[in-house]
């Protein structure tokens, strides 16, 4: 029996982080074809994992984190895992994995509690790293792969996402996609997880994009819809407003059917990249949120960032660097993609 046959990947944070963890699941399936991948996540990211062919079982941490210690240990034991990879460090989960006697417990040495709970430590620090998040995730496979350890190339990574189980777009959303135009999703906000380009820039871009060539879909959460109320009202005749109106499962389906997505460093941007859509990211050049760490990786992914040092906004959300990226630059890129799509469809 393969000693790593049942593997838990623990990543209980946000959508984009989960998407960027999927390639290690795909790689493990490639190296250990008979392995069984259990993904420990938060419930709101579950639709991502349901769309991935590499995930055999999904465990929702927020549904068990309030159990008693005894019940949690019993739950982990029933998973019958030989290995757990703590991609996103969580003290409670690392303690449970040890008490459940999971044989191989892999984590970064940069968390003090891992020295007490993990038996395979990797010298991995994320905050000041120049490596991409996907590369850092692959570092945690070293104890399993040993001499065969190798980080796949960017081109190879795209084929390891495994988002092949996307649900069909629901009937009520059929009219959202216009097959005669370039379907562009704009996701202006980030729930505070990234520096944002600003609604003024998105407004200028909307003025530039011709209605006869682009079908613009604006997305975001319900709270973001409230923040963008004036913007959505003013440009109502140029957009389809889906903010706060769709589930994550439906959002994935719409991204799959669309041609491209424009956003700052957010989960939807990484979903679009993983699905092979034109994922266009807008970034600040500031560590650790710069594109070297968080750029979208996919066969049609790209990004915009100013080539300069950016330190002024480290303690505030307002960022002159990202807001200085001109709408004209994005417009020119989108026009090029629209013409390319039009030529490919004729």
213 pLDDT tier (thresholds 50, 70, 90)? very high
Compute CA distances 226 → 72, 245, 323, whole Å: 39, 12, 21
Give mean pLDDT, residues 26-38. 95
pLDDT at res. 316:
66
Instruction: Quote the pLDDT of residue 147.
Output: 76
pLDDT at 276 over 60: yes
Check whether 261 has a pLDDT greater than 90.
yes
Residues 113, 253 within the same domain: no
Mean pLDDT of 17-41: 96
Kindly state the average pLDDT of the residues 94-112: 97
Q: Where a domain ends, among 123, 158, 193?
A: 158
3-state secondary structure of 279: strand
- For residue 1, name the pLDDT band (cuts at 50, 70, 90): very low
253 within 8 A of 221, measured Cβ to Cβ: no
Section 215-233 average pLDDT? 96
Q: Residues 143, 141, 264, CA angle at the centre, nearest 5°? A: 150
The packing angle between helices 327-345 and 199-208, to 10°, is: 40
- Answer whether 84's CB lies under 8 Å from 13's CB: no
What pLDDT, in 10s, does the model give residues 116-150?
999 999 999 888 888 999 999 999 999 998 877 78
Residue 3, pLDDT above cutoff 70 = no
Average pLDDT of the chain is 93
Compute the distance between CA of residue 337 and CA of residue 208 in angstroms, rounded to an integer: 15
pLDDT score of 252 more than 50:
yes
Q: What is the pLDDT of residue 99?
A: 98
CATH number for the domain spanning 274: value is 3.40.50.2000
Q: Is 83 helix (H, G, I), strand (E, B) or coil?
A: strand
Residue 85 has pLDDT above 60, yes or no: yes
Decide which of 158, 187, 215 is a domain's last residue: 158
Domain-terminating residue out of 108, 127, 158 = 158
Residue 137 and residue 242 in one domain: no
Q: What is the predicted pLDDT for the residue at 315?
A: 66
Contact 252, 48 (CB under 8 A): yes
The per-residue pLDDT for range 153-165, each reduced to its tens digit, is 888 999 999 999 9
> Residue 246 domain-assigned?
yes
């Amino acid at each position: 029996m393969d000693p790593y046959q049942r593997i838990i990947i623990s990543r209980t944070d946000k959508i984009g982080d989960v998407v960027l963890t999927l390639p290690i699941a795909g790689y493990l399936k490639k190296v250990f074809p008979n392995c069984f991948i259990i993904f420990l996540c938060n419930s709101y990211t579950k639709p991502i994992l349901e769309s991935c062919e590499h995930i055999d079982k999904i465990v929702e941490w927020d549904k068990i984190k309030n159990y008693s210690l005894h019940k949690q240990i019993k739950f982990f034991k029933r998973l019958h895992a030989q290995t757990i990879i703590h991609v996103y460090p969580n003290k409670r989960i690392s303690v449970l994995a040890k008490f459940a006697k999971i044989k191989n417990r892999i984590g970064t040495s940069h968390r003090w509690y891992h020295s007490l709970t993990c038996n395979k430590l990797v010298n991995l620090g994320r905050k000041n790293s120049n490596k991409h998040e996907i590369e850092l995730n692959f570092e945690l496979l070293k104890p399993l792969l040993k001499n065969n350890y190798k980080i796949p190339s960017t081109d190879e990574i795209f084929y390891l996402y495994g988002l092949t189980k996307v649900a069909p777009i629901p009937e009520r959303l059929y009219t959202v996609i216009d097959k005669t135009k370039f379907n562009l999703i704009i996701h202006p906000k980030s729930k505070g997880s990234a520096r944002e380009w600003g609604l003024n820039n998105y407004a200028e871009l909307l003025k530039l994009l011709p209605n006869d060539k682009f079908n613009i879909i604006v997305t975001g959460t319900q709270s973001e819809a409230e923040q963008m109320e004036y913007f959505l009202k003013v440009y109502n005749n140029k957009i389809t407003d889906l903010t706060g109106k769709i589930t994550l499962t439906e959002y994935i389906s719409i991204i799959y059917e669309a041609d491209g997505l424009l956003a700052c460093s957010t989960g939807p941007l990484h979903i679009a990249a993983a699905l092979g859509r034109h994922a266009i990211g807008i970034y600040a050049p500031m560590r650790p949120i710069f594109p070297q760490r968080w750029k979208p990786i996919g066969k049609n992914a790209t990004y915009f960032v100013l080539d300069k040092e950016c330190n002024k906004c480290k303690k505030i959300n307002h960022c002159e660097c990202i807001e200085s990226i001109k709408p004209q630059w994005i417009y020119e890129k989108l026009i090029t993609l629209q013409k390319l799509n039009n030529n490919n469809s004729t």
